[in-house]
Structure 1
Amino acid sequence: MSIFPDHPSEGKIEILPISGFRGVGKFIDVPWQVYADDPLWVPPLRLERRLYFSRFNPYFKHAQWQGWIAYRNNQPVGRISAQIDELHRQRYGPDTGHFGMLESINDETVFSGLIQAAEDWLVKRGARQISGPFNFSINQECGLLVQGFDTPPVFMMPYSPRWYVNLLEQNGYHPGKDLLAYWLETDFESPPAMQTIDRKYQHRIKIRTLQRNRFSEEIEIMRNIFNDAWSGNWGFVPFTQEEFAELGSSLRWLVPDEFVQIAEMDGEPVAFMAVLPNLNEVLPDLNGNLFPFGWLHLVNKLKSNSITTGRVPLMGVRKQFHHTLSGMALAFKVIDAPRKIARTRGIQHVELSWVLEDNLPMRAILERIGGKEYKRYRIYEKTLA
């Protein structure tokens, strides 16, 4: 639901590019207007968004972007970004470009105006293959929600209302790839087949927690595993060292060491998984503000183990083990170890997201241990003439 009507309103529409500190601030604030009456939307932290859009974001060392805000009668009614990622172009061709940060009232004119502004900017920079939404990268929030509108998003996952799908398709975009989110109870029983595989490799696979006293090295180990594990997947763009280090630093104070589990095969680290407490249980109370007392409320919630859901945002098993029994054992091990620990800290359910729709081996493992597909996100594509 939105504070805006579900049909075009009277008034001139302007699509204006943003610039400078104030422009970015207005861009950040647009969702508060679009989702003013939506009980499922979770407001982000404004301070975190400021840092994300700043020059300190290592993504901008290999990418450029522009944002626009749509106004009607001088009131913000939508926004969009367009971005060119040189790492993506190196892998997929020099004519690729992306859109993201898409928010709009349910109005065809506003929505089309935003899409057109992004496409025009991308075309001027040689883009002909457009895809999105990416906020800003496939390694960050991405995809348009197409199923699972009845529950709020978990931490670091996107949210969008139902009408975006039709409006985007009316602008010539078609489905490119679906990304799935699975919901899993942390007290699941290991199926007999998994127990058998586990026993077969129990002398070769060892699980350990994150070693915080060598945090930088551990982060680099996980980055190397992740980039190798995902390198053959659709849309893959590697994490740079700075990007993964930044991700690690931003999550360091949120995640207990035991929430990160690294699997070693014959003494070599080859798989890992990280669990995050679902801060979206807390963020609605803060309404985007850490100060003056929001940070204290957040810290108290984390320390009291009163957050009951979590998310697995990062997981990887080295490619050499894909489609093997040892790979299944590794995947099961890194799923099983942190969920037991999460359970002791009050986390009863976790979301595993996202999983490519055609990653059938991982989907089979998740479904075998009781995981249910409960949300579906979609990347859309369009070829410009």
Structure 2
Amino acid sequence: MANAPLAIRPVTTKTDRRDFIELAYRLNRGDPHWVPPLRSEVAGAIDPKKNGWFSHAEAQLFLAERDGRPVGRIAAHIDRLALEMPAEQGFGPGTGFFGLFEAEDATVARALFNAAETWLRNKGMTRVVGPISLSIWEEPGLLVQGHDHSPTVMMGHHKRVYRDYIAEAGFEPVKRLLTYELDITKEFPPLVQRIIAMGEKNERIRIRKVDKSRFAEEAAIILGILNDAWSDNWGFVPLTGPEIDDVGKKLKPIVFEDLIRIAELDGEPVAFMITLPDLNEAIGPLGGNLFPLGWAKLLWWLHRGKARTMRVPLMGVVKRLQGSRMASQLAFMMIEYIRRVAVTDFESVRGEIGWVLEDNQGMIAIADTIESKVNRVYHIYAKPL
């Protein structure tokens, strides 16, 4: 009952963690576009022993209860690497975060925000940013546009009313994140095709597939490019080795060599593009459970190697080439080579690119040139403590 006493308490026990996880399934059950994540994945994400992000961060989870019944949840967290970043890039000294937010009503939401803010304040934080769950590299932002379709793998989906709850708590939007979609069965415009053809004649350029037999070495190359390419971006926090290892273990089954490309210039790796089949197509019907039949269904989907949608979660070009014609040419070449494979080998018809920062003019120009359209918008909010 909404008028029953409300209690907010820290998550401390195995039962608490189970209740924290299960709440999202109950509150979102009626939304046909919410994709139930695998419970094992959620459990791993909040476990310091299983998530490499905790090697440089700490978090406190909170549960809201009425009459002993969970009605809300939130995570308050501090990333030591984010504290070291320049304040003009969005985070920096004194910045804490909230994430993994779910609430049954506005009263619950307000109490949860108070608990998270108090914890952060007691840790010396002077500002709170969110929702970010838990890392900026995982599921940042609150969905504010695009509720009429399901998210792709590793993207969030939230109740519309959460936008009101966050505003009522005194938060202001500080950044928009965009995702773009396009029909990949269509060839790109003639201009793009000419740019690609010119690149193919340039002996300095090589676009190659990754080699899964050298997974660790290839991951290190991509990590190096990524941390250089994104280092000046808003919200940047260096991606660490333990996190890459975690992502590798999680995504290795859906990493296909044809779908991840590294661009070399004069023999030096200078750009990359990662594309993933939309695993949500497979896990959506499982209801968050791998057992008793979910595991078999997921294995069948992976073995089949077909996916209606492909998502490009990450791409980057080394900083020294950014803004140059070469950077755009390499990007178009990687996108086109992966598009061809996605259509012919995976029978894909749709692509999604993102997230993309609203002020990333280079990436937005590429998205516009290949005639993709914004299909989802996420907001990140902040407030002083």
Could you tell me how far 1:306 is from its partner in structure 2?
A: 4.2
List gaps (5 residues or longer) in structure 1: 1-7
Give the 5 Å matches for 1:333-344.
333-344=333-344
- Whether contact under 8 Å (1:94, 1:126) holds in the other structure is no
* Structure-2 residue corresponding to 1:201: 199
Could you tell me how far 1:307 is from its partner in structure 2?
A: 2.6
Could you tell me how far 1:302 is from its partner in structure 2?
A: 2.3
* Structure-2 residue corresponding to 1:14: 7
Give the 5 Å matches for 1:216-365.
216-344=216-344, 345-365=346-366
Could you tell me how far 1:368 is from its partner in structure 2?
A: 1.3
- Where 1:253 maps in the other structure, the secondary structure is helix
Q: Which of residues 155, 158, 181 is equivalent to 1:157? A: 155
- Residue range with higher mean Cα deviation, 130-139 or 275-284: 275-284
**Which amino acid in structure 2 is aligned with residue 278 of structure 1?**
D
Q: Which of residues 122, 141, 144 is equivalent to 2:142? A: 144
CA distance in 1, matches of 2:312, 2:306: 18
* Structure-2 residue corresponding to 1:377: 378
- Where 2:254 maps in the other structure, the secondary structure is coil
CA distance in 2, matches of 1:249, 1:143: 25
Could you tell me how far 1:324 is from its partner in structure 2?
A: 0.6
* Structure-2 residue corresponding to 1:69: 63
Residue by residue over 1:12-56, the C-alpha shift from the partner in whole angstroms, topping out at 9 and shown as x without a partner, is 111121013222221111101211211111111011112222222
**Which amino acid in structure 2 is aligned with residue 214 of structure 1?**
R
Q: Does 1:99 align with 2:98?
A: yes
**Which amino acid in structure 1 is aligned with residue 39 of structure 2?**
R
- Residue range with higher mean Cα deviation, 220-229 or 273-282: 273-282
- Whether contact under 8 Å (1:82, 1:118) holds in the other structure is yes
CA distance in 2, matches of 1:177, 1:332: 26
CA distance in 2, matches of 1:39, 1:73: 29
CA distance in 2, matches of 1:208, 1:307: 22
* Structure-2 residue corresponding to 1:112: 110
CA distance in 2, matches of 1:53, 1:238: 20
Could you tell me how far 1:181 is from its partner in structure 2?
A: 0.5
CA distance in 2, matches of 1:102, 1:320: 39
CA distance in 2, matches of 1:250, 1:35: 24
CA distance in 2, matches of 1:156, 1:312: 11
Residue by residue over 1:224-272, the C-alpha shift from the partner in whole angstroms, topping out at 9 and shown as x without a partner, is 1111111110010010112112212211111221111111111111111
- Whether contact under 8 Å (1:78, 1:103) holds in the other structure is yes
**Which amino acid in structure 1 is aligned with residue 103 of structure 2?**
S
Could you tell me how far 1:81 is from its partner in structure 2?
A: 0.2
* Structure-2 residue corresponding to 1:4: none
* Structure-1 residue corresponding to 2:130: 132
CA distance in 2, matches of 1:259, 1:47: 26
Question: TM-score, structure 1 length as denominator?
Answer: 0.95
CA distance in 2, matches of 1:303, 1:185: 24
**Which amino acid in structure 2 is aligned with residue 103 of structure 1?**
E
Could you tell me how far 1:208 is from its partner in structure 2?
A: 0.8
- Where 2:85 maps in the other structure, the secondary structure is helix
CA distance in 2, matches of 1:61, 1:347: 37
Could you tell me how far 1:213 is from its partner in structure 2?
A: 1.7
- Whether contact under 8 Å (2:277, 2:307) holds in the other structure is yes
Paired positions, count? 376
